[in-house]
Every structure is written in C-alpha cells, then in structure tokens.
Amino acid sequence: MTETTMNIENAHPLDKWVTPEIAARNDRIEIRPVALEIKQLHKSFEHKGKVNKVLNGIDFTTHKREFICVVGPSGCGKSTLARLVAGLEQKESGHILVEGKEVTEPGPDRGMVFQSYSLFPWMSVKQNVMFGLTQAGMARNTAEAEALQWIDLVGLSKFVDAYPHQLSGGMKQRVAIIRALANQPKILLMDEPFAALDPKNRLKMQQYLLEIWRNIDITIFFITHDLDEAIYLADRILVLDANPGRVKEVVKVPLPRPRADDTLLTEEFLATKAYLESLVHPPETEEEESMEDKLSMVRMVPVNAEVPDIY
C-alpha cells in the first residue's frame, strides 16, 4: 500500500484495492510453475480471398491452478484463442506451450467446454463422462467407478442413467465440465460455457465451477463476454483489443478468495468493473457509435391519440 501511494504517477487505478493478503496471494501464484505459455501467436482467417487478421502477436503466461478469464469486444478473437489452445484451429505462427509441450492437435490434456451443449445425445450421463476414460484405454469397470465419483461431485447422482435431452441447461454443462475433467487435463478451456443460461442458473454454475476448481488440480482458461462473470471468477483477466486481436492489458482482480456472496456489490468489484468497462469499451468510441446508431425516427403517433406520449 505504502509503495503504491509513493509513486502515485504510474500507479494502477485498481492498486488501492489490493490488500496485503491479495498481493501475497498474487505473489504466490507467480512463483508456481507455468501451465500455459503463449508466445507471439498470430492467426488469420481467409474469407473470399480477403485475409482477416484475428490475433496479432499474443503473449501470455498462466501459472498452475490459476483461473484466467479472457474478455474483449466482439471480434477480438477470444474464442479463436481458446480453440487454438485446444488445437481445434491451426496457428499461423508463434508458440503455444502447455507445460512446456508445443500444441499441435487436439488432445485430452486440454479439456474443453463449449457454449453449445456438446454432450453425446445417444449416451447417458454416465457414458458421456466415461467417454474420455475408455478412450484412453481404461477398463470399463474402473472408468465407470470413476465416472460415478465425478457425477456425485456435481450432485447429479440421480441422473446417472438420464440422457442429455432429459437434463436442464445447467445440468448439461455440469456434465460437460466433469466429462472434460475426468480426463485429468492440465488446462480446462471454457468457451462462454454459461452464456446460454438464465442469470440465476449462471450464478449457481459459477459458484459450482469455483468449488470444483478449488478441489481439483486444474488451470482454467475461461472465455466470456460478461464482465461480472470474469471478475467474479478470475485471478487475472486477459483483456483483448479487437481488429486485430492483441493483448490490451492483463488485469489482476483485487478481490479476496474465496469470493464472498455479496462480492458483486462491493466497491472494489464495481471499481474493477468500471475499469474493465473502460478498457473493453473506451468511452470516446462509444460516444461516436451511439451517435451513429441513433435512429432517425419520425413521430408516427397522432397528437390526439388515446396515448399520445409514453413519458
């Protein structure tokens, strides 16, 4: 605290919320081994002969058991970044290293949870969770026992033999998460997994996810466009700039762990959100946009109408 107040010139606006406990925890994270290293990552897509640069020289490092959220305006390539780490897209140049190993193709060491429920509809919950395990060559009995433990962990024991179409959206995503985690990946990639859920269920799922993360050796790389979600979940937030996507800033979330139930209402939370807002939607451009977007609407209600004005 004293340090930051001394050189107030280049102080970060969020520094005043960083308590010694939070600072100490951040320091502890930084000395952990590196889980994911992204170096000078470039990616372009070609569409009808036009080359569109999506990611332009991304550099980013995460440590083990860190919770990273990626936010940014639409078109900043945050989903592409997750898909590149998963190996579902091929990079143009640069490096993606997971625990020192270069990523070349999809593999079970990087689990992924998609926004669209990607459970196999012809398999029961248990069979879905067992999928990766048996694929890795585990015997059926062992895989089944393990799957049942995972299902129990997320409270779906009653739905072991249910099929995905019989589950709610939140339940489906819980199964998708444990299906990925059962493979014991080094990183769990999540591409806007809760975007399709209603607010109440989303909050519940966020709490579930934090609980799972706390109890399992997993680094989470979570893509979202919801700033509340990012702040609530992340240790650090990777803010991307759009067109082309590059790192704008990496924000350390100045909130204590575990998150309190009323975290979303605290001053530090709101300050962080305001700061992120200014990064993701810089105020000047927003004004320009809103001027352009203003509708050129003509009054079409007669003055003597039953309800002449809505105000």
Partner 1 sequence: MAIFPKSWTTPRVELDKASKIWLTIASFAIPLLLWSLVSYVPFLWHPDIKVTDPGNVSYFREGTLVKKEIFEREVDKRLAIKGENPANIPQGIPANPVYLPAPHEVALAMYTAFTTPPKRFNEPWLHQSLWHSVQIIFWGFFWSMVFGVPLGILAGTYDSASRIIEPFTEFFRYLPAPAFGALAVAILGIYDAPKIAIIFIGTFFQMVLIVATTTRKLNMALVEAALTLGCKGKSLIRRVILPGVLPDLFRDMRILLGWAWTYLIVAELIGTSSGITWFITQQARYKNFDNVFAAILMIGILGIVTDMILAKLGKRMFPWHNAG
Q: Which residues contribute to the site for partner 1 (CB under 8 A)?
A: 86-88, 105-108, 110-112, 114, 116-122, 131-132, 135-136, 163-166, 176, 179-180, 183, 189
For partner 1, which is the closer residue by CB, 79 or 206? 79
C-beta of 172: minimal distance to partner 1 in Å?
10
Q: How far is the CB of 137 from partner 1 (least distance, A)?
A: 10
DSSP character string of 26-51: HHHHHTSPEEEEEEEEEEEEEETTEE
Report which secondary-structure segment, H or E, holds 61: strand 50-63
Of residues 75 and 121, the one with the C-beta less far from partner 1 = 121
Cβ proximity to partner 1: between 193 and 244 the closer is: 193
189/253 with CB nearer partner 1: 189
The verdict on whether omega for the bond into residue 244 sits within 30 degrees of 0, i.e. cis, is yes
CA 84 to centroid of chain Cα atoms: 14
Least Å distance, CB 180 to partner 1, is 7
CB under 8 Å to 61, separation ≥6 — which residues? Answer: 34, 36, 37, 38
The nearest distance, CB 138 to partner 1, in angstroms, is: 11
- What number of other Cβ atoms are within 10 A of residue 140's Cβ? 10
CB of 109 to partner 1, least distance (A): 8
Residue pointed to by tokens 């992120």: 276
Nearer to partner 1, 27 or 105 (CB): 105
